[in-house]
Structure 1
Amino acid sequence: MKKGRIILMLIFENQLNNHMEFPVEAFIQDNSIQEVSVPEHWHECFELLYILEGEALQRVNANTFEVKSGDFLFLYNGDIHATYCSNNVKTRIFVLKFMPSVIHSDFLNTYGSKYLIPFLSPDYSISHLTDVQKSIIQKLFSQIESEIVTENSGYQLFVRGYILQLLGFLTREEIVLPFINSHTYAENKNLESILAYIETNFNKDLNLGDISMISNMNYSYTSRYFKQITGKNFKQYLDYVRIAEVNRLLFETDHTITEIANLCGFSSSQTLCRTYKRLMGISPSKMRNQPIQN
């Protein structure tokens, strides 16, 4: 640790992972039973929060806001988030976490990438549900929790089915609008290898010419191909991957901004800061040092 600096260490939560037989977790946070104070952390699973009662202070990446009874929040893998509840207000929050592999669906097809879905999906959004929406979502949450707690024969199939119902309802109601890939297998055949190459070599001087070489496509077609499949261009994705790694290093190490820039493939700390501010809406220094107000 560099002398004179205090770093807020971010927690990587590895409770759920693809090595588990059934990586799903559902539970209720209740501050009348135990204090709800969940510091900044991130994980590779998706997390759904439904506020059953009361209110809480939520932080997602650089944004801090209040949530209250009836609010719903979908957190993507890699989102830096925290939840704090005041002891003066009884609060209950239903939490559902699952790895994308649980549902085996193009709805959340990652193509082997831990960055693709959050990159292509809209930024987090807080949804204020109608009474009908509350009723349906609360019922599905309760069914998922019951199956996980009882673990009766076939419970994994029921949980998977309820999660798919939940995601289908959220999509139909436009509460969550995830990226859904409608392209054929033939159209997608190079995507996985391209994503893997970017995520392995983001810390190098990477450009579209490198991608065209490893994918055996010419430069112009590679650019059109990536944009056609994802709806975004190569540079946008490379910047997103680099900034995701910047976030990890900001919170997990005491490296300087210049050191992080070098480790993440940026030509300078100035370039990192410009890119970070454009994507995150805040400077990396402020992100590292900004406390959440409880």
Structure 2
Amino acid sequence: MKVYYCGREDCEKGHFFGPAVRSHQLIHFVLKGKGIYRTEYGEYEIKEGEAFLIRPGEVTYYRADLEEPWSYAWIAFDGDEAETLLERYYPDRRLPVCAMGETAAVSGWFEGLLGSFGSAEENRERVLGYFYLIMACLLRTGKGGVPVDEEGYFKRAVAFIRHNYSYPIQVSEIADYVGIDRTYLYRIFMRQAGVSPKQYLNRYRLEEAKEMLVQTEYRITEIAYSCGYHDSSSFCRHFQKETKTAPARYRRLNCYKKTEKMGENCGKNH
């Protein structure tokens, strides 16, 4: 993969380019405002949070809106991996528009890319690093142009929670790991799980805590830290709010039920 050039511009009203052809793959990421993009397949209205692809050799034209002109950043690239990469996001040549999962992150990464690309000691690995971070913000589309990664994002976020719930992780860290912004992550969780990422994380921690209370003899403080709480009082407060009972009492009640059912000794309350 080779990045040839990149840039950023706040366009004037009605600013246009073309009709013209380009020699490399070129993607414009619309960070604010809107405009139109025209190819041989039709005309497309592009708005903030979308990115349009210009393929090499295609005659294209684009123009900023007359009322809300766009601000965009662009990146030109090519190489053996280019087509494989673009197939994920632009599988249909008739649909050269793709959604972005996080506009703010793209804007920040472009700042890093522009700084790295224009430096006296240009670092190819750093340039490519920013390039892949930016590309990872695009939402993979199907033949109908509909994002199909939502379930994948959700599963990736849940896996991150499952492996890291014992640490004091934040929702922003989950979003960063998945590669989308926290607003989009919130919408995904509300659609997929019916709760926010923060609620899901808290409930996951409490479910793990319940299991540890009944199945182990660890102290309440040890369980609290093991489930990502910074102290036992915070853990007890969350636990009681969710279950309407204190952790120690929950342990006694459920150990008693377990003993009755299985006829086994249960761990002492600590």
Provide TM-score, normalisation by structure 1: 0.40
Provide TM-score, normalisation by structure 2: 0.43
